[in-house]
Structure 1
């Protein structure tokens, strides 16, 4: 983000008072590329994993920074005189910033004659970042118009603040980081997610695991499915009374690097096993169909022996 910000926020002091979709799209795509997740990933989840502030918040911080510096400029300078004159001109840069300051309870901070420049900028930055995080959290919990299921259904069980996650700050191979990010963001190709795109969408309680009768959620996939018993997480001392969701939350919120890497390796192995078994089932079905159509029972016996091995 340090390489992207100087380009996105160039001269944001002048034009950055309001949001621009194109700039936000660039930041969202950069975040998705960094996490190695596809475009159907929720922007809210990507922002939460990386702990990035929205472009609009960063733009407005730069605008307020310029306002504060102009306000504390020497009154003898022509720039300061024009600035103070424009504060009463509707639609001007200064007028709009003062209006936003009133809206966000920053009016007294902006026009305080005693506070220094750095103190004002620090207070404004903290306030805008807090508002940005509150907006992010409200979007995380928003279920309006999502009767068939929220893509962030699992993510909000363990994610409570917009701060960068541990695995983002440490070196993990790109492929393993991608699978871990997909699982956390709820876009790993499990039936709980695939059913979201069927037409009509499959009810959540019918999005079952292909290897058992339980719903194939992220928690079921990682800690509970009997089919993956040889790969499930075994480094945690779970209580017998812990639910699948509680176990999943404990795994996702781990703060130990060793365990975090183990989780990434395990998720990668689970995905590989599922792909391999799914391909084998599909391949067997196709061969069985071909042999049945050509009346070759010897080939059917051969397929049975191959799968048995």
Structure 2
């Protein structure tokens, strides 16, 4: 998608963002209305705009390092006479990025590319975090209220890329982490008409508010699965049973000491049981 981005990549293109978000969700097994921030966060992908800007800077550095008798430099010098040339746009972009501590427009070179890339990635990650904690656009409550408790950096998650999980396991984990599973009442009743109040989105088995935390560590319907999962977590932390429910779910969904396939298998088993009993109730 970024072919030739050194020329056209100074501005954001929403269609490219849509393609990238769709690719993330397709691989993770998420739905179209799943949060883009969670999908991109678990894949650990930088934004398209950041990748485009890296290509722009790389081309600009390359031109600066060529001798004046080279054809690309001659063309660049000729085009820079225009008031809205590519060179002037790049120079304005560099000034707006606040990279004076790394280099300036006049002395930029290939040796500055790695520091510039790190700076751009840091800006991208900071923007991602700001959006993650922004509740202004979510009148019914942020879907990512649980996700942002355990997701601390914009890096690939082991269950998504490092371990080759079967698609059904990867999907179950991604849906739970992103807060977009329709099986959990706090998400399912979000879109009811009129919207169901938060305190009425209760678990069909124990009448407590059904959140991701309740589903994963509290509900008695899955007590036997919880027991096996907690045993696995106890092997890595002897204090696991003394943790609060919130601390438990954070540890379960962020631990890198337990095989992601093991955790994903328990999550999938819980979803399968819930789906079976809910379907049985509807049939009867």
- TM more than 0.5: yes
Please, which runs of 5 or more residues in structure 1 have no aligned partner?
1-7, 285-309
1:226-253 CA-partner distances (Å, limit 9, x unpaired): 1110111222235554221110001011
1:76-124 CA-partner distances (Å, limit 9, x unpaired): 33532443465564321111111111111135624354x641x211122
Say which of 224, 227, 244 aligns to 2:221: 227
The question of whether the paired residues in 2 share the 8 Å contact of 1:180 and 1:267 is answered with yes
Partner of 2:206: 212
The question of whether the paired residues in 2 share the 8 Å contact of 1:88 and 1:95 is answered with no
1:52-72 CA-partner distances (Å, limit 9, x unpaired): 011111111101110111011
Q: 1:63 to 1:162 in 2, by over 3 A?
A: same
Distance in 2, Cα, partners of 1:226 & 1:28: 36
The question of whether the paired residues in 2 share the 8 Å contact of 1:32 and 1:38 is answered with yes
Does residue 263 of structure 1 match 2:258?
A: no
Say which of 82, 85, 99 aligns to 1:106: 99
Does residue 160 of structure 1 match 2:152?
A: yes
What does residue range 192-207 of structure 1 map to in structure 2 within 5 Å?
Answer: 192-207=186-201
What does residue range 172-183 of structure 1 map to in structure 2 within 5 Å?
Answer: 172-183=165-176
Distance in 1, Cα, partners of 2:113 & 2:241: 51
Alpha-carbon RMSD: 1.8
What does residue range 30-109 of structure 1 map to in structure 2 within 5 Å?
Answer: 30-84=23-77, 86-87=79-80, 89-106=82-99, 109=103
How many residue pairs get matched?
274
Distance in 2, Cα, partners of 1:213 & 1:90: 67
Partner of 1:124: 116
The question of whether the paired residues in 2 share the 8 Å contact of 1:44 and 1:136 is answered with yes
1:118-159 CA-partner distances (Å, limit 9, x unpaired): x21112211111111111111100101323111111110100
Distance in 2, Cα, partners of 1:14 & 1:236: 50
The question of whether the paired residues in 1 share the 8 Å contact of 2:233 and 2:240 is answered with no
The question of whether the paired residues in 1 share the 8 Å contact of 2:30 and 2:174 is answered with yes
Structure 1 consecutive aligned stretches of length 4 or more whose deviation exceeds 6 Å = none
The question of whether the paired residues in 2 share the 8 Å contact of 1:68 and 1:110 is answered with no
Say which of 123, 135, 143 aligns to 2:135: 143
Higher relative contact order (CA 8 A, sep 6+): 2
**Which protein shows a greater Rg?**
1
What does residue range 293-304 of structure 1 map to in structure 2 within 5 Å?
Answer: none
TM-score by length of 2: 0.91
Secondary structure of the residue aligned to 2:165 is coil
Please, which runs of 5 or more residues in structure 2 have no aligned partner?
none
Distance in 1, Cα, partners of 2:3 & 2:104: 23
Partner of 1:248: 249
The question of whether the paired residues in 2 share the 8 Å contact of 1:110 and 1:120 is answered with no
The question of whether the paired residues in 2 share the 8 Å contact of 1:86 and 1:95 is answered with no
Q: 1:43 to 1:140 in 2, by over 3 A?
A: same
Secondary structure of the residue aligned to 1:136 is helix
TM-score by length of 1: 0.84
